[in-house]
Amino acid sequence: MGLFANAFTWWNGASWGTSLMSRRHGQEAGRDEAGNIYFKHRDDPKRRWVIYDGVNDSSRVPPGWNAWLRGTIEDVPTKSLPPRRPFEQAPQPNLTGTPTAYRPGGSLSGRGSRAPATGDYEAWKPE
């Protein structure tokens, strides 16, 4: 199903038409460490888009490339932004729905128990 899924679905990555039109009307601007490819339109450089390497998830776009896509910075991030500082963490995609998602203590799928109520709550009663 992999070959046909790519031809007829957009959520499994770039379809054949998207890839073909990107090569025909776009100029490759760069690639990020996740393997995503960034394009700008040959005639109108303000039109920019990304072809994801894998699942179409916008949270997988690093902050610098996100700024470039939205037109916040004019040149590609490798030329216009300073390098990442040692204390900065690498960006992470949205982890919701994965085993590594945040689950607070006391939640149904989390570990631990919920803190007991303190008793400082008073129900409202109409007068």
In our burial notation (b when 16+ CB lie closer than 10 A, e otherwise), range 97-109 reads eeeeeeeeeeeee
Q: Averaging pLDDT over each range in 12-16, 21-25, 29-33, 109-113, which range is the top one?
A: 29-33
pLDDT of res. 5: 60
pLDDT of res. 22: 65
Provide φ and ψ at 31, rounded to 5°: -135, 150
Alpha-helical runs (H) found in the chain: 2-8, 16-25, 63-69, 77-80
Sheet strands side by side (includes 48-51)? 26-31, 37-41, 48-51
Classify strands 37-41 and 48-51 as parallel, antiparallel or unpaired: antiparallel
Closest CA to 62 of 45, 74, 50, 54: 50
Q: Where are the domains of the chain?
A: 2-80
pLDDT of res. 67: 93
